[in-house]
Structure 1
Amino acid sequence: MNIAQLDRMHSGKGFIAALDQSGGSTPKALAQYGVQESSYSNEEEMYTLVHDMRTRIIKSPAFESDYILGAILFENTMDRKIDGQWTADYLWEMKNIVPFLKVDKGLADLANGVQIMKPIPNLDELLTRAVERNIFGTKMRSVIKEANTEGIREVVEQQFAVGKQIFEKGLIPIIEPEVDIYSGDKEKSEEILKEEIKKQLSSLDKDVKVMLKLSIPTVNDFYKELMSDPHVVRVVALSGGYSEEEANRKLAQNHGLIASFSRALSEGLSAVQSDDEFNSKLGKTIKEIYDASIT
């Protein structure tokens, strides 16, 4: 584990950029960027185009460590290069930005009001490759749609079980049990979720470290006590479908909670923009997310 990266993630000022759209979400991310499905004819061409988009974001002068602490990558992005360097190496060596890797393989069908993660085949092999590629940590997502105690417990237990396997490989896991922002009982789900997370944290060995990625809570500062747990490196927030403006407004009301935004980060960026237009829009977005993250 890179101690400089650990210190940066624990106490640095800024947020995490989520550049990890994968599989079914990649066409949507490209479409938002102005690249339609008619622009590619197979998966390889699609991933090349999305890597070009991510490369443009990462290489932008607006994408800098004064505002951004880390970036989450998709496996395909990790295995590609920017200017002759593996993407993770470029992020850290050229930008001083900590690289993470999305490791989950999507969501299982809805049961007990939640969607747990699908099995992750060859996870150990993927983690070994991540270590070789100088990845610092990982991210994996589950979704909670209803305040179902049994379902939420299952989500959290699965997340922490896989998280322990990840930590044993020398990586910091980002635990992401997302509560659907459109849930009719979101606040109740968050109450159950926090208690289940506290149970899992209390059972960890003393040296185990994790990060938490959570939906912006209904009650401001609701996750503040989790931030002080010795096992928790950082608590970060997903945008969850909120617009950039609304996500930033809600985030700013939660002290110590920092962003890990995906769609909100790339909102308004387009393949047809000039570099000046692209960098200006990205810079404005980054500064607004940063300001909301340092409250």
Structure 2
Amino acid sequence: MASATILKSSFLPKRSEWAAAARPSIGRQPVAVSFTVRAGSYADELVKTAKTVASPGRGILAMDESNATCGKRLASIGLENTEANRQAYRTLLVSAPGLGQYISGAILFEETLYQSTTEGKKIVDVLVSQKIVPGIKVDKGLVPLAGSNNESWCQGLDGLASRAAAYYQQGARFAKWRTVISIPNGPSALAVKEAAWGLARYAAIAQDNGLVPIVEPEILLDGEHGIDRTFEVSLKVWAEVFYYLAENNVLFEGILLKPSMVTPGAENQEKATPEQVAEYTLKFLHRRIPPAVPGIMFLSGGQSEVEATQNLNAMNQRPNSWHVSFSYARALQNTCLKTWAGRPENVKAAQDVLLVRAKANSLAQLGKYTGEGESAESKEGMYVKNYSY
């Protein structure tokens, strides 16, 4: 049902064309028939923000790990999970000189949105000075989905409108909501529907409060399945997502997507080449994603830094109808974090590594990445089973 309905509901004409006159009989006044898409008074701003984030040669730095997950990152380099250490690391990231040349948006955790750098400057202001749009993670994490096959759903709709309004006042201009789909666990029809409905409700609420919603149903890498199974699930999930986005009157020109690339399961022995990943992923986009969407900001999902860049580059070396870019967390930060190691004297070296990684993905967004000079560390896989944060 969703697949059939999406063709009617998602590829809608322009708003100026939605009102149509009908003449039922001679002598009667025309009857106006119209559709409604709600983005409130923010519609023009939402479109502008989405296009700014989806600008050529740039992508998103996802630095929205919860404090607990950030603590795990810090523990990997021998640091305690204190606000001071989190502040020092986040300062390193946002203040890297010239970062805005390659990064158009940064997703923040709530603490970071209200935080200052170690020099006392508001992190939001530092990002804006780099021409980077501040974003905010608004979901409240994953919890077990009752009645499903050990699957999960994403909570956080309660109170979202007031929180989104406050985040906008603090300087955020886009939002992120991550839910997950597990292929080994089904996925069940219940889990897919719950994910799609939750994303659609969040997107509508975010737009009503001036935030461009990133729509992210992450299809986890867990499993031994092949690339064809991932492709099949991707089609199913995104058909449901756009069906419910349309049902909730979400303005497609004012959203960004954060899909998983179409790859085999992480435990499958047959690894896909970048060319295969590009072929399957772009085929899924063409079948499910309306061209009105201004930006497709792929997640890395546990791929190595180099692998994520290679796959993005392969997609941009083929014809496609969208701004195909990146929204990476570990695939931008992993080597940077290890280089820093919590030592002040390593800050510049760590920032240099971050810029190298950001530039590589910038080139990949343009289809010009060559892979020259990549370090051994950047080729290390980062897959974690049942990854959540």
User: Normalising to structure 2: TM-score of the pair?
Assistant: 0.67
Q: CA deviation at 1:181?
A: 1.3
- Which residue among 299, 303, 319 is the counterpart of 1:242? 303
Equivalents in 2 of 1:158, 1:13: separation in Å? 31
User: Would you say 1:66 and 2:97 are equivalent positions?
Assistant: no
- Aligned pairs for 1:145-156 (under 5 A) are 145-146=182-183, 147-156=187-196
- Which residue among 105, 127, 130 is the counterpart of 1:91? 127
- Which residue among 160, 168, 174 is the counterpart of 2:214? 174
- Which residue among 254, 260, 266 is the counterpart of 2:327? 260
Other structure's SS at 2:242 match: helix
User: Would you say 1:122 and 2:167 are equivalent positions?
Assistant: no
The residue type paired with residue 289 of structure 1 is N
Q: Deviations over 1:116-140 (max 9, x none)?
A: 1024443223212111111111001
Q: Deviations over 1:54-101 (max 9, x none)?
A: 1111111152x2211110000000011235443223211x10001100
The residue type paired with residue 59 of structure 1 is S
- Aligned pairs for 1:1-295 (under 5 A) are 1=42, 2=45, 5-32=49-76, 34-37=77-80, 40=81, 46-63=82-99, 65-82=100-117, 83-92=119-128, 94-109=129-144, 111-112=148-149, 114-146=151-183, 147-183=187-223, 184=225, 185-203=229-247, 205=249, 207=251, 209-218=254-263, 219-225=280-286, 228-230=290-292, 232-255=293-316, 256-269=323-336, 270=340, 271-272=342-343, 274-295=346-367
CA contact (8 A) 2:54 2:104 kept: no
Between 1:280-289 and 1:181-190, the stretch displaced more is 181-190
Give ranges in structure 2 of 5+ residues lacking alignment.
1-41, 264-279, 317-322, 368-389
CA contact (8 A) 1:17 1:262 kept: yes
Q: Deviations over 1:172-210 (max 9, x none)?
A: 111111000123343332121122133234445374522
Q: CA deviation at 1:103?
A: 0.7
Q: CA deviation at 1:157?
A: 1.1
User: Normalising to structure 1: TM-score of the pair?
Assistant: 0.87
CA contact (8 A) 2:63 2:329 kept: yes
| Counterparts in 2 of 1:36 and 1:222: CA distance versus 1, 3 Å | farther
Between 1:234-243 and 1:176-185, the stretch displaced more is 176-185
Q: CA RMSD in A?
A: 2.3
| Counterparts in 2 of 1:31 and 1:222: CA distance versus 1, 3 Å | farther
Other structure's SS at 1:61 match: coil
CA contact (8 A) 1:113 1:151 kept: no
Q: Determine which structure has more spread, i.e. the larger CA radius of gyration.
A: 2
CA contact (8 A) 2:56 2:365 kept: no
Other structure's SS at 1:222 match: helix
Identity of aligned residues (%): 25
Q: CA deviation at 1:244?
A: 0.6
Q: CA deviation at 1:24?
A: 2.8
CA contact (8 A) 2:54 2:325 kept: no
More strand by share: 1
Give ranges in structure 1 of 5+ residues lacking alignment.
41-45
Equivalents in 2 of 1:119, 1:4: separation in Å? 26
| Counterparts in 2 of 1:31 and 1:291: CA distance versus 1, 3 Å | farther
CA contact (8 A) 2:157 2:202 kept: no
| Counterparts in 2 of 1:134 and 1:223: CA distance versus 1, 3 Å | farther
**What's the counterpart of residue 43 of structure 1?**
none
Between 1:140-149 and 1:111-120, the stretch displaced more is 111-120
CA contact (8 A) 2:57 2:363 kept: no
| Counterparts in 2 of 1:172 and 1:98: CA distance versus 1, 3 Å | same
CA contact (8 A) 2:216 2:258 kept: yes
CA contact (8 A) 1:227 1:235 kept: no
CA contact (8 A) 1:113 1:148 kept: no
Q: CA deviation at 1:4?
A: 5.1
